[in-house]
């Protein structure tokens, strides 16, 4: 794997953490885990149970916005990123 893609992967995790920490009441409990596949990357987002609703937003608007950013970044790095919000 080349250096440019590795840096982009790290940046996307950091970007998600920054966005989510700004939304939640317990930013210290935000954790983004990255699982690499051959053509895709799964980003698992874990937050405090009482913050899940804040991350998802009304009618899923926050989650959708974060996923759109992740998808746009994936276009540049030629990888498919999938954001999963873990509940519980």
Q: In CATH, what number is assigned to the domain containing residue 78?
A: 3.30.300.20
d(CA 80, CA 88): 26
Tally the domains of the chain. Answer: 1
The range of the structural domain enclosing residue 26 comes to 3-86
| pLDDT of the chain, 88 residues: tens digit per residue | 445 555 555 588 999 999 999 999 999 999 999 999 888 999 999 999 999 999 999 999 999 999 999 998 888 778 899 999 998 6
* C-alpha closest to that of 50 among 19, 28, 26, 66: 26
- Residues paired with residue 50 on neighbouring β-strands, in sequence order: none
């Amino acid at each position: 794997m080349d250096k440019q893609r590795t840096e982009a992967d790290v940046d996307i995790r950091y970007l998600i953490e920054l966005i989510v920490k700004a939304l939640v009441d317990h930013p210290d409990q935000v954790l983004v885990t990255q699982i690499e596949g051959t053509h895709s990357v799964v980003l698992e987002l874990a937050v405090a149970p009482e913050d899940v609703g804040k991350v998802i937003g009304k009618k899923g608007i926050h989650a959708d916005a974060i996923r759109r950013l992740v998808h746009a970044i994936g276009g540049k790095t030629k990888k498919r990123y999938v954001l999963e919000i873990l509940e519980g």
